Structure 1
């Protein structure tokens, strides 16, 4: 299993989208220590969107608070299959905002994983491993487009935003 994870990490193309250069450096150092070899960086949301289009990364690590285009708006654009070319790219939200409402909003926007700053190497490794080695299928329901909620029960899945919000609150 460890060799499988190491192989996924070594071949993964990771995009860091954060306006803080220091935070990008910290996360880059953590990723390199995990064996990730292909890391790109964007200093703002618009650059990140362009890099997704041009580089097709395997995972995006995204900050919430950025000037201009914040993480929430970024996610709305990415998770628009009718207008964005790569809406299925896994996204790990890495933010200093851990309020329950923020976490729920992030999941409702289609974020695959949520991490709070300051992040530990173990937490980042676990979330990265989850999206690379055990990806959840993408679903579309009402205005929601994103990974299948973890506690999704097919009997209660409905074509509505309320169902998604209810399932998110269960997580």
Structure 2
């Protein structure tokens, strides 16, 4: 992973320092830091202006930054005019990873969700998921981000989606998604919460 470039955006200097050390220890070749969401947007914009496409491969951002928080930064990224930046993997971090926060991030196009306090194992698992098992991106009215399905489940019907401007039909599949807000998100492992949960039933049907 020494060829990867990662941007870490967090208004807590201690957390930034820890995460930067973890990323470098895992072999990430280039790690940039931003003290706020505003600084992160500036860094990402500059990265696209230099070569017409972002040279940053992954973004780690805190959910509760101020004045521009991680959710606003994520939405800004997904709405960006530059294609590579629009599709960049985005890992949201938060010390308050309740179901509502995870649900909002997931519906805004987050790639992975990382609960604080984080561990080396949790950071490594997120990186491996992004690098080894990248999910295709979905373009649909009201949603731009990675396909939220983690596995294929039996389903007697059609799941119609708009992907890259075209209608596609996925047979015998059903999306695995978060439970409705208000229901508990089951733990995946100590200190981490899956961005798509384990409940069934939420789809991206486009009529």
TM-score by length of 1: 0.83
Find 2:2's aligned residue among 5, 10, 31: 10
CA distance in 2, matches of 1:90, 1:77: 13
Q: 1:130 and 2:129 equivalent?
A: yes
For the pair shown, the structure with the greater C-alpha radius of gyration is 2
- 1:108-119 aligned within 5 A: 108-119=107-118
Note the C-alpha offset of 1:157. 4.2
Match of 1:30 in 2: 22
Note the C-alpha offset of 1:133. 2.3
Note the C-alpha offset of 1:51. 1.4
Match of 2:98 in 1: 99
Note the C-alpha offset of 1:152. 7.4
Alignment CA distance shift 1:114-1:26 (3 Å)? same
Deviating runs (4+, > 4 A) in structure 1? 151-154
In structure 1, stretches of 5+ residues that fail to align are 1-8, 160-165
- 1:14-163 aligned within 5 A: 14-55=6-47, 56=54, 57-81=56-80, 83=81, 86-151=85-150, 155-158=158-161
Greater relative CO, 1 or 2 (CA 8 Å, sep 6+): 1
Note the C-alpha offset of 1:27. 0.1
Per-residue deviation, residues 28-66 of structure 1 (Å, max 9, x unmatched)? 111111111200001111111121222321000010011
> What is the alpha-carbon root mean square deviation over aligned residues?
2.0
Aligned to 1:156, the other structure's residue is in SS state: strand
Note the C-alpha offset of 1:106. 0.7
TM-score by length of 2: 0.69
Aligned to 2:177, the other structure's residue is in SS state: helix
